[in-house]
Chain A
């Protein structure tokens, strides 16, 4: 698929209705005219609810138009454990989402500043990190070192990919090691935590940004909701939120979506120019 076709396919996968119709806000139930919603960066202008974005939508609201070129879009699917029903599920996810994995990485510009960018999406097996996502993030950082680029990653994940167990776990170490090399190379890494970010991604590269931005309304935490549910953990409401992390000193900036691109621009300008 060309980038153009992939983008069109992605927008179709996320907006089942044609662009000139209406969507209901999942929080306040207001009907929103799709074109107005898009112009408002897919944020409800009645209640401020931030809609989840596909990787293509996120690119649209973040980087300069037509500036994105994909890296490593042809990595193979892997099934290291020969896990029941896994390869089929992954193949179906590719067909349904138009993505090769739960992350998309490449190079782009933001107000003319070149950067290495990664984006994640829960629609691909819950945004889970297995070898594929780990490899994409690691290559993103290694290519950034090679080309002297800053790195921005929009994180979103349900956690580690269970079907790859130990290999998934090791991606945490691998990506963290790569982040360390980027750091040693003196290049900045901006992590943007979006809704939701849990588990193995959170406890690895997501919290290793030199700058950590949380998008307003994002849920985040170490133990994902399903883990909390099946282990019967007591998790009071409000704990696994961007606000909580910000109040506890873990986040540099907590921003509504419309302020993220300008903040990225200022930080990148400060670091690179």
Chain B
């Protein structure tokens, strides 16, 4: 496959960013001679980043969503949730390291957090199972969400998974039942629920913590019922058609808004969240606060009714409405 603009420019940008980081270190250590070069390179990298993101294909976004250095759930939790206390275990089987749950404060507002963590290093990826949550992960998530509901606390979920774990052990512990039950029971949580796809929105693995009052996506995240590679292989019997599949699947954040599935896109810094994790986190925090503030107005019955109706009308053709 020909190298895409993202591949080409992305490499140049990564090298530039690495050089900039090095220069910043030197300048911090008193090397004033490097200031000018640093300023020039910073300007060049911002221009390059803006150019890079000016015309992204759907496949480019998938690539960004899977970027090696893209911030993950724990990065966002560290940046935006104060006094985070992790809560472990589903009380039935074990503690799924691919699902992080806990409590904390978002600028003073007590919230529960449910999040998928993929891991950065090889060791972390093994520990977190690449973000592929197990049945016990979904059950832990539901336990903590219901706990939050009993305490009257809002819930945020951070979705970042290539898909749920579907191997034999997970089949044996009821991965389908766990994901189904979560979706059903999320509809009866009497507290605000805001779900955000921060990276990979992998099908059932995502929707298992994805039924909420408001659904957001980071600008370069993707959300799909199947990966572009999977779609190309299964529908067209040609895995090399992944870029065409990505485009056909309408899996980008703007696509998801157009489909009425996602309510809001959270902007990323130029070139992607990995280039300025602090800026990405600040954007996410601001968006979460605004959404939770708006939802605080809604009372119990109205909240639950609106949540049901939100999913009720997704995909509904023009002029049609539910029969009852």
Contacts and interface: CB of A to CB of B under 8 A. Distances in A.
B26 to A, nearest CB: 45
Interface in B284-322: 307-308, 311-312, 314-317, 320, 322
Contacts of B179: 172, 203-204, 222
A162 interface: yes
A11 B292 CA distance: 54
B143 interface: no
B322 A139 contact: yes
Interface stretch (A27-35, A36-44, A235-243): A235-243
A160 B224 CA distance: 11
Contacts of B180: 172, 176, 202-208
For B175, B223, B311, B322, the residue with the greatest tally of chain A CB atoms inside 10 Å of its CB is B311
Contacts of A244: 171-172
Interface string A221-254: 1110011001101111001100011001110000
B110 interface: no
Interface residues of A, number: 66
Nearest to A168: B225
Contacts of B324: 139, 142-143, 145-146
B311 A170 contact: yes
Interface string B153-191: 000000000001011101111111101110111111000
Main secondary structure of the interface of B (DSSP, over half): helix
B183 A177 contact: yes
Interface stretch (A1-9, A47-55, A76-84, A94-102): A76-84
B229 interface: yes
A165 B175 contact: no
Contacts of A233: 166-167
A244 to B, nearest CB: 7
B176 A203 contact: yes
A72 B320 CA distance: 12
Which range contains the number of B residues in contact with the other chain? 35 or more
A143 B324 CA distance: 7
Given A78-B315, A206-B176, A230 B230 contact: yes
Interface string A59-99: 00000000000001001101011011000000000000000
Contacts of A231: 230
A248 B187 contact: no
B188 A180 contact: yes
A80 B322 CA distance: 18
A70 B167 CA distance: 39
B185 A166 contact: no
Given A166-B259, A206-B176, A172 B248 contact: no
A101 to B, nearest CB: 13
A75 B208 CA distance: 28
Contacts of A23: none
Nearest to A182: B184
B171 A222 contact: yes
Q: Which of B167, B188, B224 has the most chain A CB atoms inside 10 A of its CB?
A: B167
B183 A165 contact: no
B181 A208 contact: yes
A108 interface: no
A104 interface: no
Contacts of A164: 225, 315
Nearest to B309: A177
B10 interface: no
A173 interface: yes
B322 A172 contact: no
A181 B308 contact: yes
A135 B180 CA distance: 17
Interface stretch (B48-56, B98-106, B231-239): B231-239
19 contacts: A81-B249, A165-B249, A169-B207, A170-B207, A170-B315, A173-B183, A173-B311, A174-B312, A174-B314, A176-B211, A180-B184, A200-B204, A203-B176, A203-B204, A204-B179, A206-B176, A230-B239, A239-B171, A250-B174
Interface of A: 72, 75-76, 78, 80-81, 83-84, 130-131, 134-135, 138-139, 142-143, 145-146, 160, 162-174, 176-177, 179-181, 183-184, 199-200, 202-208, 221-223, 226-227, 230-231, 233-236, 239-240, 244-245, 248-250
